[in-house]
Amino acid sequence: MCGEFTVELVRPGRYECNYTGEPKPMTKIVFAKDKKIATKIFMDYLRAADMAARRGVTQ
């Protein structure tokens, strides 16, 4: 997994998370209390996508 991601506040409690890189670029809206929690939730999405790509599972 290599690339970069951004976490931006859309409105209170809602963050837009963007990732550019491998296995595939993605954008998610994450509902969280603060940016630190939103980042952790988005990293879980990225880890799951990376593991699926390594196993050969397509979404």
8-44 pLDDT per residue, tens:
999 999 999 999 987 778 899 999 999 999 999 999 9
Measured between alpha carbons, how far is 28 from 42 in angstroms, rounded to an integer? 8
Instruction: Give the model's pLDDT for residue 8.
Output: 95
- pLDDT interval class at 6 (50, 70, 90): very high
pTM of the prediction? 0.81
Residue extents of the structural domains in the chain: 5-56
Q: How far is CA 52 from CA 6, 30, 47, in A?
A: 22, 20, 9
| Alpha-carbon dihedral sign for residues 25, 28, 32, 35 | positive
